Chains A and B, each alone.
Chain A
Amino acid sequence: MTAAFIALLPVFIVILVGFALRKSQLIGEGHWAAVDHVCYFVLFPAIFFKEIVAADFSGIPVFGMALAMMLAVLIMSAVLLVLRRPLYKALAIDGPQFSSLFQGATRWHTFIAFAIIPIYFGPSALALGAVSAAAMTPLLNVICVIVISMLVAGQSPDARTILLAIVKNPFVLSTVGGVLWKILGLPAPAMGIQVLDMIGKGALGLALLTVGAGLRVDEAISARAPVLAATVLKLLVMPVIMAVCLKMFGVTGLAAAVAMLCAAVPTGSGAYVLARQMGGDAPLVANILTLQVICAALTIPLVLWLFGILA
């Protein structure tokens, strides 16, 4: 546990640096938004594409891993939706707030996961992170768009909205593009891979800083109960569900460990954007993400340590 904690400490130090930088106002608010935008639209798509295209997937249970991760997402979503009415009552929340709880409990922060993977599992494990992105991100996007729309507008979104949510997402485009490239057997010129690799290396540190800059500790917490619930669900319950699913599909070793990490990281920053666009409770998402990032400094090492012992 201590070893895992110390191994992950650098990630949280960099997040803290990002937080301190925003506080110091050395870099303006608008600049942070722009940097985040570029990580999201340019740099991370470059990483996903490169990792999938350049990876050697022989000997890796790619399909089992992908299916286990998709199943885990579906189970968490189903449980939350089935227990919706009791949750409304117990936590005293409304539809938009529930939609933020839902996003807070199901999504994952690729920036944090991808920063941890190379220092904890080694750079070659990034390919497994890209598999996770290809498996979970499109599915999560569709589910979240439908759930928010149902809860906020009271109706299922039309097919066009769902399609746009998939097609316009840069993570989906880059992972699906990478998978297609791989399946079609298109060439991966060494020079191109090298350039993408240089970009990727730069993106990880930059993205972590934006995570820190996005933390809002001084803001009043709008509703305490859903924030706590989402944090427990995401950081502790989601890894348990993931462990069960991985067991069911017989995924072991490094692939399983990376999948566990992707389950154990805080919710994604995309949740905030989606909540704002579709009328969910965006400030609540920000509260959830902030608490999750703080708690994750302890819970991620705990999850990785426990999984290492049990697996």
Chain B
Amino acid sequence: MTSTFETLLPVFLLIALGWGLRERRVVPEDMWRGVELLGYWVFFPALLGDTLIRSDISQLPLTGIALTMIGAFLTMALVLLIARKPIMAGLAIDGPSYSSLFQSATRWNGFIALPVLAKLYGDVGVALVAVIMGALVPIANVMAVYVVAINSAGRELTWRETTYIVFRNPFIWATAMGLLINFAGITIYAPVMTAMGMLGSAAIACGLLMVGAGLSTQEAIRPSPAVWAGTVLKLFGTPALVFVWSLAMGVTGTAFVACMICAAVPTAMSSYVLARQMGGDAPLVAATVTVQTIVSFFSIPVIIALARVIQ
């Protein structure tokens, strides 16, 4: 437990550094946008592709992992959708705030899960995150967009827009290409692989600094009940669901721990962007992300320690 905590400490120190750099305005505002774009379009796809091409993934229970994560996600999403009225009444929130709670409880931050798994299991850890991203990101993105649209007086999406949301995501492309090249046994010219590795190694630090820069402590000073609900559902509810689903799917060992970690990390930073763009409650997302990140500093080591005992 203490050693897990220490392993994760650098990850959270980098997040804190990103926050400090933004808060003290050491770094120009434009930088964060630049790094975000580079991380999203270049560094993370390079890391996912590079790792998937190089790793021996034939031993991983890919289908079990995918079904576990999708199953847990759908369970959480369905419960929240069915209990929509009681949740809105109980927490005294409106539609836009409900959509933010939904995003906070169902999505996950790959920028945090990836460094944690990379530190614990190296390349295998990264490959596992890539597989989970490939399974979960399309469905989670589409669901999030729909729920926000329905709850914020926005219009419904056309099929074309939905397809665009799924296929515009570079993580999906990188994962699909990586898996394809790996399974087809294609050899990529070594210098190109090294170049991809160099770009990929920028992903972790940039991603974590960015997560930190996105935190807003002002919003989170007095968390509302909705913030706490989003935090508890995400940091403890999702891992519990993943645990049940992994039992059902027979996912064990490293893959099980990886699933638990991806379940235990805070919600995605893109939730905030989506809420702002589509009329969700963006300040609520910002506050929840911040509280989740602080709490996860303590909760993730606990979940990892438990998962490793069970695995």
Tell me, yes or no, whether B248 is within 8 Å of chain A by CB.
no
Q: What are the residues of chain A within 8 A of B41 when measuring CB–CB?
A: 21, 26-27
Instruction: From B28, B190, B203, give the contact of A34 (CB < 8 A).
Output: B28
Pair A201/B204 contact, Cβ less than 8 Å = yes
Residues on the B chain within 8 Å of A202, using CB: 201-206, 209
Whether B199 pairs with A205 at a CB distance below 8 angstroms is yes
Q: Contacting chain A: which of B13-21, B76-84, B125-133, B228-236? A: B13-21
Contact B194 A38 (CB under 8 A): no
Contact A13 B192 (CB under 8 A): yes
Which residue of the partner chain B has the closest CB to A35? B34
Chain A residues near B31: list those with CB within 8 A. Answer: 31, 34-35, 37-38
Q: Which of these, B9, B115, B191, B197, contacts A6 with CB under 8 Å?
A: B191
- Give the complex CA separation of A209 and B41 in angstroms: 13
Task: Flag the segment in A174-182, A192-200, A229-237, A245-253 that touches B.
Answer: A192-200
Asked if A9 lies at the interface with its beta carbon under 8 angstroms from chain B, I say yes
A31 to B14, CA, bound (A): 21
- Please indicate which of the listed interface residues A7, A194, A206 has the most CB atoms of chain B within 10 Å of its own CB: A206
Name the contact of B198 in the complex, choosing from A7, A31, A119, A194 (C-beta under 8 A).
A119
Within 8 A of A (CB), among B191-222: 191-192, 194-195, 197-206, 208-209
Additional A-B contacts beyond A9-B195, A17-B42, A209-B42 (9; CB < 8 A) = A10-B197, A10-B198, A11-B198, A35-B31, A42-B27, A115-B198, A199-B209, A201-B204, A202-B206
A208 surroundings in chain B (CB, below 8 A):
198
A23 to B117, CA, bound (A): 35
Interface residues of A in 24-50 (CB under 8 A from B): 26-28, 30-35, 37-38, 41-42
Q: In this assembly, does B256 line the interface, its C-beta being within 8 Å of a C-beta of chain A?
A: no
| Bound-complex Cα distance A41 to B37 (A) | 20
Mask of B5-38 contacts with A, CB within 8 angstroms, 1/0: 0100110011001000100001111110111011
A14 within 8 A of B: yes
Contacts of B115 in A (CB 8 A): 198
The interface residues of chain B lying within 8 Å CB-to-CB of A152 are none
* Known pairs A13-B191, A14-B198; A34 contacts B30 (CB<8 A): yes
With A26-B41, A27-B34, A34-B31 as known contacts, state yes or no: A198 contacts B195, CB within 8 Å: no
11 interchain pairs, CB-CB under 8 A: A7-B191, A30-B30, A34-B31, A34-B33, A191-B10, A195-B14, A198-B204, A200-B205, A202-B205, A205-B200, A206-B43
Query: Interface centre among A14, A38, A41, A202, by most B CB within 10 Å?
Result: A202
CB <8 Å contact, A10 and B205? no
Show the binding face of B for A, using Cβ within 8 Å: 6, 9-10, 13-14, 17, 21, 26-31, 33-35, 37-38, 41-43, 115, 190-192, 194-195, 197-206, 208-209
Bound CA span A209–B200, Å:
12
Instruction: Give A209 to B208 CA distance when docked, in angstroms.
Output: 19
Bound-state Cα–Cα, A199 to B42, Å: 17
> Which one of B9, B35, B192, B202 contacts A201 once the chains associate, using CB atoms below 8 Å?
B202
B204 — which chain A residues lie within 8 A by C-beta? 198, 201-202
Q: Is the CB of B198 within 8 A of A203?
A: no
Complex interface: chain A residues within 8 A of B33 (CB): 28, 31, 34
| Inter-chain contact B9/A198, CB cutoff 8 Å | no
Expressed in whole angstroms, the minimum distance between the Cβ of B307 and any Cβ of chain A is 23
- Chain B residues with Cβ below 8 Å from A31 are 30-31, 33-34, 37
Q: List residues of chain B with CB within 8 A of the CB of A243.
A: none
The reply to whether B43 and A205 contact each other, CB–CB distance below 8 Å, is: yes
Contact between A203 and B195, CB atoms less than 8 A apart = no
**B-contact bits for A201-221, CB 8 A (1 contact / 0 none):** 111111011000000000000
Q: Which of B28, B34, B38, B115 has the largest count of A CB atoms less than 10 A from its CB? A: B34
Alpha-carbon gap, A34 to B34, bound state (A): 7
Nearest 6 pairs between A and B by C-beta?
A: A202-B205, A31-B34, A205-B202, A34-B31, A34-B30, A10-B194
